[in-house]
Amino acid sequence: MTRRDAMLGTAGGLAGLSAQVAAQAPQGMATALPVAARRMTELRFRSGKTYAHPGEEVTLDVVFQEPGGRERRVPAFYAGDHLWCARYAPEMPGTHRWRAEATDTGNTDLHGVSGAVEAAPFTGWNPLLQRGALRVAENKRTLAYGDGSPFFWLGDTWWMALTGRMEWPGDFQKLVADRVAKGYNVVQFVAGLFPDMASFDPRGSNEAGFPWEAGYTRLNPLWWAVADLKVQHIVDAGLVPCILGCWGYYLQVLGVEKMKRHWREVIARWGALPVVWCLAGEGAMPWYLSDTKDADRKELEQGWTEMARYVRATDPFERLICIHPSRAGRDIVTDAAVLDFEMLQTGHGDYRSLPNTIHEVVKNYEREPRMPVVQAEVCYEGILGRCREDLQRQMFWASVLNGACGFTYGANGIWQVNLPGMPFGPSPHGNNWGSTPWWEAAQWPGGAQLGHFAKLLRTLPWERMEPHPEWVEPRWTDKDYDMPCAAGIPRELRVVYIPSMWQTPRLRGMEPGIRYQMTAVHTATGEALRFGEAWDHGNGDFAIPLFPEKRDWVLVLRRPE
């Protein structure tokens, strides 16, 4: 039995999926539907009128009015079998009244229908639903949950996870559980229009085919129904889906209007979940084999700026918007105001990418308008047969201690979903990025070690830390980037990353009269060792004792309360 056959045999089969949903559609839609605040509910509208191309011929919005009077216009999607669905997550308890508005005003099954959703207070363990979807913190430097509590972003890169090669439910749920246990809280993936392949490449299909029918004539509801299962499971596990609408060059393949149709579907399907929108991957990168790349880049920069405005206008839930770049997100749109936070990609050249990584983090941390900076891609572990765990550790700390409020890891093998004996294979330019099976790559040590670091930071007031490279000597400079870096809060907290060095560095700028308690964190195991006290030994200097072994360490200094 093939993977596709197995999927078709579950839950009544994909062919019956839309019929099952349709059978559950309530009659009349006039009664209140119970739901908890921040949990997604779905209204279903079955049309007695037949359309040749229903998803394209008729647009349906459902306008919800919150208890305080604010209205949110929620786009609905066509689910197949004469069924339209609108997904909504009430932000607050109380009665949320709604009315349906369709472009075919004569269809009384879709237009003019009204009702209410009765939202009870939220109960449950899920931090995303307890605290609310992500937003930019008041300091404009970090991200926070909706209730204002800090959110340190540790993401993982699963670009092609919605393909059938990441089998549902077994393989997919196995990887989710692994990442949750290791301390990750974000997953970056693409909504069907994947990188490193041309349109309708078989490697980009799932158990129901492709997100669009051949020639991009119309959307395929069953592809999206299968994808729904995976996206919902990510949220149910407490992870934030960072959803890339496509890879950048598809904007020129589909054109602006069809890309808006694609993004409307993404918002309608998943906007009621606590997601983050990423407009595109490699947003201004032309098709790999293009002969007009300079002109293409300019067109893409203009196009994605327009698309950002469309996404913001269409999304009733005001999810954060970013774009995945070749270097920095605000450099590939014509108006930085369309973005909520900055994403960086700083290279895959092993240690040769360290100078650019520090340079881009520092530059974008200092730029105006101020916005949070997330390191979104750098040196996937195992790519090109290198970039191993020692580099993962240094890239993480070089990013975070110089101003990044989050870091996304990548394992070469997961992002393209290599299967045992069936690797992804070559990209359009002919290169094969690597053949390691995805589960083997998921167990590489760097991924677990970054999880230790994220767990450590979440025990600290990291959201108030600022870069202080001058607090350690020697320190990284434009002449030598492979040196310690530091950040913290004056008179309260210092965090120093010390790469493997022959000499032990010194702490500088120690405040007179303050004695810090030191902890040395073993970067491979995450074990924290008590390391005595640190204080001003004169001129603000403190000589760090010898570590138990010569390797890289994280040194944490906290002032006792």
CATH of residue 111's domain is 2.60.40.10
* Residue 116, amino acid: A
Structure token pair of residue 325? 């770049």
Rounded Cα distance, 293 and 458, in Å:
43
**Residue 540 DSSP class:** T
For residue 409, the SS3 value is strand
Angle in degrees, CA 450, 527, 348, rounded to 5 = 25
Contact 133, 271 (CB under 8 A): no
Q: Number of helices (H) and strands (E), helices first, in the chain?
A: 13, 28
Contact 311, 263 (CB under 8 A): yes
300 shares its domain with 227: yes
Which backbone phi and psi does 75 adopt, to 5 degrees?
-70, 140
Distance of CA 360 to the CA centre of its chain: 20
225 CB contacts (<8 Å, ≥6 apart)?
14, 17, 18, 21, 79, 80, 208
Residue ending a domain, among 98, 123, 148, is 123
Token pair 């059978």: residue: 23
Is 203 among the domain residues?
yes
454 shares its domain with 314: yes
pLDDT given for residue 502 in this prediction: 84
Is 5 among the domain residues?
no
Rounded Cα distance, 544 and 260, in Å:
57
Contact 487, 466 (CB under 8 A): yes
173 shares its domain with 220: yes
For residue 155, the SS3 value is strand
**How many other CB atoms are there within 10 angstroms of residue 390's CB atom?**
18
171: left (phi over 0), alpha (psi -120 to 50) or beta: alpha
Structure token pair of residue 371? 């916005």
Is 542 among the domain residues?
yes
β-bridge partners, 534 = 516
Is 29 among the domain residues?
yes
Total number of domains in the chain: 3
For residue 436, the SS3 value is coil
133 shares its domain with 233: yes
384 shares its domain with 259: yes
For residue 453, the SS3 value is helix
Is 133 among the domain residues?
yes
257 shares its domain with 318: yes
Domain containing 64: what range?
25-123
92 shares its domain with 110: yes
421 shares its domain with 485: no
Q: Which of 122, 343, 133, 340 is nearest to 235 (CA)?
A: 133
β-bridge partners, 241 = 187
Residues of the chain with pLDDT under 70: 1-33
Which helix (DSSP H) or strand (DSSP E) does residue 71 occupy?
A: strand 71-75
**Distance between start and end Cα atoms, the chain:** 62
Which backbone phi and psi does 237 adopt, to 5 degrees?
-85, 0
215 shares its domain with 320: yes
How do beta strands 186-190 and 240-244 pair?
parallel
Which backbone phi and psi does 529 adopt, to 5 degrees?
-110, 130
CATH label of the domain that carries residue 180 = 3.20.20.80
311 shares its domain with 397: yes
Residue ending a domain, among 123, 148, 179, is 123
pLDDT given for residue 165 in this prediction: 97
Is 450 among the domain residues?
yes
Token pair 């201690």: residue: 401
Residue ending a domain, among 422, 443, 464, is 464
Contact 266, 230 (CB under 8 A): no
For residue 241, the SS3 value is strand
Structure token pair of residue 514? 């303050």
Is 16 among the domain residues?
no
Is 7 among the domain residues?
no
**Residue 411 DSSP class:** B
Contact 518, 459 (CB under 8 A): no
116 shares its domain with 132: no
Contact 518, 555 (CB under 8 A): yes
Q: What is the 3-class SS of 18-54, one letter each residue?
A: HHHHHHCCCCCCCCCEEEECCCCEEEEEECCCCCCCH
- Whole-number Cα distances in Å, 251 to 91, 203, 257, 284, 470: 33, 20, 9, 10, 45
**How many other CB atoms are there within 10 angstroms of residue 32's CB atom?**
13
For residue 441, the SS3 value is helix
Rounded Cα distance, 162 and 143, in Å:
26
DSSP characters over 350-378 = GGGGHHHHHHHHHHHHH-SS---EEEEE-
304 shares its domain with 438: yes
Helix 256-270 × helix 293-314 angle, to 10°: 40
